[in-house]
Chain A
């Protein structure tokens, strides 16, 4: 196998596929990237057996063939070469990377050991606007859990609501629900948030194809494909958690609320709740931390409802306000022990969060 390509192009396809390669692989072969050269195309595959990323590049093919190269070393080596043409070749157990003078040699990994990774299955794929889809995913992903002890909560649930796509995530303390009315398709599955977070960085593009199988989800763009295993299990029945009505409603400026939360978070750190005393003319936001001190401030706004004090985890609250769109934020609450709901200007997104009982 032997190809020639521009340094920047080659570094790009290698590094994007390498994002699927785990930092510590159980199998040594998984620390490698599979390189396949056919026709005019260089195809790069990286996988940790959960997530597989494939990228492609048109190159000057000097000799077709296949090899497995060490992912991190080879990617970094290409990056560190002087700009211009780079030659990548493999044979006789050795990978050689040269360009503009310097020459790297690495031990080749065995092609025969590389796991069989299924070809991306794009059957029944729908095409979505890449930027809008990424924005929707960004809004719900904050609510997903990163705790592997409860795998079901580490995914974003894709389902269909009134014929259109709906994305849902929860870590059991907050819940984010995003309708994507522009995508009218029946897609259903629980997709690991870890894979979705890689989507933008690896194959993000203006146009994206999304296909949901029974065991895997596949995303494809002009820049490559990302396939991920779906999480098995039943997503919690979240619908019943969303209260039907909210007697109390606070409307404040999103920016000033964000700034207030940011100030309070300085004192609050992760586990200290932020107290909101909701009253006419807005709210008193305060935080007190034993042995440290506290912070208090008035956040101007419009409050309609019973005067009350409700407390939230500062990070969960901040996450929710950050992902809302629009200049104003609406917080609706029932009582200090029931979930509060944050909404922005759009009708399509809702962020529900459980209070902290004082």
Chain B
């Protein structure tokens, strides 16, 4: 297998055009000229504090100062957001609400009102856009900003950070935490450090000192499974990982993952802030070392892609309306087919659509070298959704699977067909 790609196409030009009302716009000419003299720490990550809770508090001040938990009230509800008072009592996001009730019996429980949170999110991002159009939105309440261009208006990154925080507070009444650093990796960890309602700056040159004492689980791409494997190698902190021999790491985790983690542990994260209103498409594709000529194997690969794509859509908080299948035959002939339906992020829907598209592509049993599945027409997963008479069906299954995976790792549960057959002793 050669690399699974994550493609997130964006439209930077649009973001530039979109910057109509921002401070930056007035200085557009100067911004373009100004390449030298930007801040050393030019990535800002902001993250709203207990966002849903604070939105609720804004409209009901009696919620201030007491433990508040926003979450599903039903028997299977989970905590969506907990105030810091509740967190001090051990309540965490994604914890079953029933469990949270035991931890914090005095807390006020409120069912989520996503349309209110979306509106509040829009208010926040309207403020953000007055600072810079270079915003990479990660979810309703967090984003990366490239602040290098703000050198002209602010003397220091502290100024940028505190102006941003007070502008958000002033316009929306909501608290935000800000982390500023030389890369996305460090900026995100810095904003964690800043919480609640604070700011934390990691100066250029001090990244590893900041990073190394932290648990490896804090690194991007380190889920429960990877963390467990690292622990077997005696790696607990990011510092342990940084000093671990790269060769061994590559052998144990695979060349791609090993090299990537090693880079991250060395605070090396060159990913730029990519603006433009989020991903326009999310897709998964894979080129196979040997061509696939068995329809059963192909279907299994399709299921694997559908499962992975569904996971990525969910983690991006998106659902899409158009499923596209891409097949490259052994002779490099490439076929794409697509189908549009109601918005989904369900692995089952993606797989069924993929099978129909595969049928339509007329590939038959010709050997193929590449298979890809992508989703466009993306919209937030919590956008208004026309319900189907047939009921929620597979999306409920997917929700349950996602919850189990969040807790026990990606390998904990999945389609039976993707489980490797048990190894026989004599094989």
Contacts and interface: CB of A to CB of B under 8 A. Distances in A.
- The bracket for how many chain B residues form the interface is 10 to 19
B88 to A, nearest CB: 33
A170 B389 CA distance: 9
A149 B339 contact: yes
Contacts, number: 41
B421 interface: no
A356 B389 contact: no
User: Which secondary structure dominates chain B's binding surface?
Assistant: mixed
Contacts of A313: 386
Contacts of B388: 172-173, 354
B339 A354 contact: no
B385 A172 contact: no
Interface string A175-200: 10000000000000000000000000
B115 A354 contact: no
Contacts of B356: 149
A352 B390 CA distance: 13
Interface string A150-174: 0000000000000000000010111
B341 interface: yes
A224 interface: no
A182 to B, nearest CB: 28
A357 interface: yes
A146 to B, nearest CB: 14
A195 B114 CA distance: 44
Interface string A333-358: 00001010000000000001011111
A238 B390 CA distance: 9
B72 to A, nearest CB: 13
**Which among A272, A273, A339, A358 has the greatest number of chain B C-beta atoms within 10 A?**
A358
Given A149-B341, A358-B115, A273 B384 contact: yes
B384 A354 contact: no
Contacts of B385: 356-357
Contacts of B115: 358
B341 A356 contact: no
A222 interface: no
A351 to B, nearest CB: 12
B150 to A, nearest CB: 27
Given A149-B339, A149-B341, A358 B386 contact: no
Contact of B384 (A170, A175, A358): A358
A57 to B, nearest CB: 44
Contact of B389 (A175, A272, A273, A311): A175
B387 interface: yes
A39 interface: no
Interface residues of A, number: 22
A84 interface: no
A135 interface: no
A357 B387 contact: yes
Contacts of A311: 384
A147 to B, nearest CB: 8
A62 interface: no
Interface in B342-379: 356
A275 B325 CA distance: 36
**Which among B122, B356, B390 has the greatest number of chain A C-beta atoms within 10 A?**
B390
**Which among B341, B387, B390 has the greatest number of chain A C-beta atoms within 10 A?**
B387
Nearest to B387: A354
B389 A337 contact: no
A356 B278 CA distance: 24
A241 interface: yes
Nearest to B385: A357
A290 B379 CA distance: 14
A28 interface: no
A357 B380 CA distance: 13
A82 interface: no
A354 B341 contact: no
A358 B387 CA distance: 10
Interface in A15-29: none
A91 interface: no
Nearest to A241: B389
Interface of A: 149, 170, 172-175, 236, 238, 241, 272-273, 290, 311, 313, 337, 339, 352, 354-358
The 8 closest A-B CB pairs, nearest first, are A354-B387, A357-B385, A356-B384, A356-B386, A172-B389, A358-B115, A172-B388, A273-B384
Interface of B: 114-115, 122, 339, 341, 356, 384-390
27 contacts: A149-B339, A149-B341, A149-B356, A170-B389, A172-B390, A173-B386, A173-B387, A173-B388, A173-B389, A174-B389, A175-B389, A236-B389, A236-B390, A238-B389, A241-B389, A273-B386, A311-B384, A339-B389, A354-B387, A354-B389, A356-B384, A356-B386, A356-B387, A357-B384, A357-B385, A357-B387, A358-B114
